[in-house]
Homo-oligomer: A and B are copies of this chain.
């Protein structure tokens, strides 16, 4: 009598996925980053409770099937870890991960999601649950295996909160050297962040459209995808300006 099981399992009975498993030392890394953040990086947050933040992250995903995460699972964590961001300091990005963080590490003028507590503790980290073992250190689902996996859901929620917290003029660094357009509807920036900017608090979005030093100029500020971004935001009563190759960032590209 054959039992039909669409999911591959390892000998221990844990599900086998295509992505990297949970980061080793997950507790120590998350907890340690939290303490480093509230003590050294941003001492204004010294009253945050890192142990509780870790427990809330853990209980959001452990012993759960890693494709069944719901937004609500992260509410307790998000509410505990959230903090305000000074006006005019928010810097969003899409397809410029490497360049934007080289920039914020060399210049402390702007704050990306990865410079907030929620982004800082989870950057470059993977985690997912297993209904039998609690935590799956062997493999975790990639986004194309299932969208509601623990990491994707976390970044979606953290991005939403980061956008909600923005005020004044905000910046976004986009990549003008890729084919599908610098602004894409299906990116986190296009599908989550711009929709959660609060028009009562955010007056303008300034686009920094960066081209690779050697690379193609696939899109300029007058390009199609930038126009689409403009119309979406102007419908929401938020002004848009666009600068090509913002100089302080371009200098970094040469360094």
Contact = CB atoms under 8 A, between A and B. Distances in A.
Interface stretch (A102-110, A154-162, A235-243): A102-110
Contact of A251 (B28, B31, B35, B252): B252
Contacts of A25: 35, 38-39
Interface in A17-44: 23-25, 28-29, 31-36, 38-40
Interface in A144-195: none
B29 A39 contact: yes
Contacts of A35: 25, 28-29, 32
Given A46-B24, A251-B255, A36 B32 contact: yes
A60 interface: no
B23 A28 contact: no
Contacts of A113: none
Q: How many copies of the chain does the oligomer comprise? A: 2
Chain A contact residues (Cβ within 8 angstroms of B): what range? 20 to 34
A1 interface: no
A24 B36 contact: no
Nearest to A99: B106
A23 B36 contact: no
A90 to B, nearest CB: 20
Contacts of A106: 102-103, 105-106, 252, 255
A4 interface: no
A125 B32 CA distance: 14
A146 to B, nearest CB: 25
Interface of A: 23-25, 28-29, 31-36, 38-40, 46, 50, 102-103, 105-107, 124-125, 248-249, 251-252, 254-255
Given A23-B39, A252-B255, 6 more contacts: A28-B35, A32-B35, A32-B36, A102-B105, A102-B107, A251-B251
5 contacts: A23-B39, A25-B35, A102-B105, A106-B252, A251-B252
